[in-house]
């Protein structure tokens, strides 16, 4: 039986990858990150999940090699702010970081992928087992975006693509023809909450449109745009009425239930090609 290695970040992403890999007949060896991975949920699928500190490379690589892993997947979020605390690099990681031209997420992860390749371990696309959860093109919900929401989606799309191109964030929130907020290291939900707070601070409760895109040269091995059920409550609280998502590049976890609840909230969700709404 072929064995898939799984480097598990936070949330449901690694759990879903593990479930689908097991359904495909693979054995799964999962490694977690201290304070990040949902260990109980993942262990319910794959058994014991040893934990490593963020920044360790040598021991996880040795664990995969000992288990006969030649292909692995990175799945689950590691908040960008974690890079500013809680990192305990081993000697191999310290050497890797010292030779990087910058400390952007993509730069670090691509360097990590190269280290895995040196050990004969190929990092695969993180969506390889979850294609059924990708956003398709066109309207995904019962309600179509209104004219105003579509105009905000066009505006936000240009801003989001510019933001993603410099590896800062992939989400922009717009309302009433203006960009309300841009995602930084805090993540999508925190960006949306901030947008709602900004709107309320001005005494406004105008509809907000969330735009979420892939990077212009998105590496499918890591940092894929994702949405989950927890975000729906955040959208409702902030006054979000519409989502514009990049089709074929954005994952929606628990997709059927997500869209069912989105309909109940009156959300309009549409998937667009890389060039955005026309």
Q: What's the pLDDT at 85?
A: 44
For residues 224-229, give the mean pLDDT: 92
Q: What's the pLDDT at 103?
A: 73
- Residue 88, pLDDT above cutoff 70: no
Question: Global pTM?
Answer: 0.86
Please give the share of the chain, as a percent, with pLDDT higher than 70: 96
pLDDT-derived band of residue 83, with 50, 70 and 90 as boundaries?
very low
Q: What's the pLDDT at 6?
A: 96
Distance CA(172)–CA(242), nearest Å, equals 12
Q: Map out the domains of the chain with their CATH numbers.
A: 3-123 (3.40.50.20), 132-272 (3.40.140.80)
- Residue 84, pLDDT above cutoff 50: no
Distance CA(208)–CA(196), nearest Å, equals 8
| Per-residue model confidence as pLDDT tens digits over 129-138 | 999 999 999 9
| Per-residue model confidence as pLDDT tens digits over 167-205 | 888 999 999 999 999 998 888 999 999 999 988 887 767
Residues 112/58, Cβ–Cβ less than 8 Å: no
Structure tokens at 218: 């998105």
Q: What's the length of the chain?
A: 278
Task: For the chain, give the longest Cα–Cα distance.
Answer: 60
- Residue 82, pLDDT above cutoff 70: no
Distance CA(165)–CA(182), nearest Å, equals 13
Distance CA(135)–CA(61), nearest Å, equals 33
Q: What's the pLDDT at 111?
A: 87
Q: What's the pLDDT at 278?
A: 84
DSSP H helices, the chain, are: 13-23, 39-46, 58-66, 91-98, 105-118, 147-165, 188-201, 230-238, 255-265
Q: What's the pLDDT at 19?
A: 96
Q: What's the pLDDT at 87?
A: 60
Q: Which of 130, 131, 105 is nearest to 6 (CA)?
A: 130
Comparing 221 with 64, which gets the higher pLDDT?
64
Q: What's the pLDDT at 106?
A: 76
Which of 51-65, 195-209, 221-235 has the weakest average pLDDT? 195-209
User: Which residues, in sequence order, are CB contacts of 23 under 8 Å at separation 6+?
Assistant: none
Q: What's the pLDDT at 14?
A: 95
């Amino acid at each position: 039986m072929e064995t898939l290695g799984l480097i598990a970040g936070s949330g449901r992403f690694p759990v879903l990858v593990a479930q689908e890999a097991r359904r495909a007949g693979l054995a799964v060896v999962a490694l977690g990150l201290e304070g990040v991975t949902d260990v109980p949920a993942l262990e319910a699928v794959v058994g014991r999940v040893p934990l490593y500190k963020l920044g360790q490379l040598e021991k996880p690589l040795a664990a995969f090699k000992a288990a006969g892993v030649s292909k692995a997947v990175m799945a689950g979020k590691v908040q960008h702010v974690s890079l500013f605390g809680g990192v305990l690099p081993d000697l191999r990681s310290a050497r890797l970081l010292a030779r990087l031209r910058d400390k952007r997420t993509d730069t670090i992860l691509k360097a990590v992928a190269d280290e895995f390749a040196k050990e004969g371990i190929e990092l695969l696309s993180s969506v390889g087992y979850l294609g059924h959860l990708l956003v398709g093109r066109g309207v995904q919900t019962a309600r179509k975006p209104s004219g105003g929401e579509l105009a905000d989606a066009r505006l936000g799309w240009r801003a989001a693509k510019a933001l993603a191109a410099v590896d800062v964030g992939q989400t922009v929130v717009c309302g009433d023809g203006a960009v309300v907020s841009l995602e930084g290291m805090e993540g999508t939900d925190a960006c949306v909450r901030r947008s709602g707070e900004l709107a309320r601070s001005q005494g406004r409760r105008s509809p907000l449109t969330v735009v979420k895109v892939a990077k212009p040269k998105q590496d499918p091995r890591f940092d894929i745009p994702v949405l989950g059920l927890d975000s729906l409550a955040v959208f409702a609280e902030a006054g979000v009425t519409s989502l514009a998502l990049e089709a074929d590049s954005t994952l929606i976890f628990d997709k059927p239930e997500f869209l069912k609840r989105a309909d109940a909230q009156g959300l309009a969700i549409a998937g667009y090609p890389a060039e955005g709404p026309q």
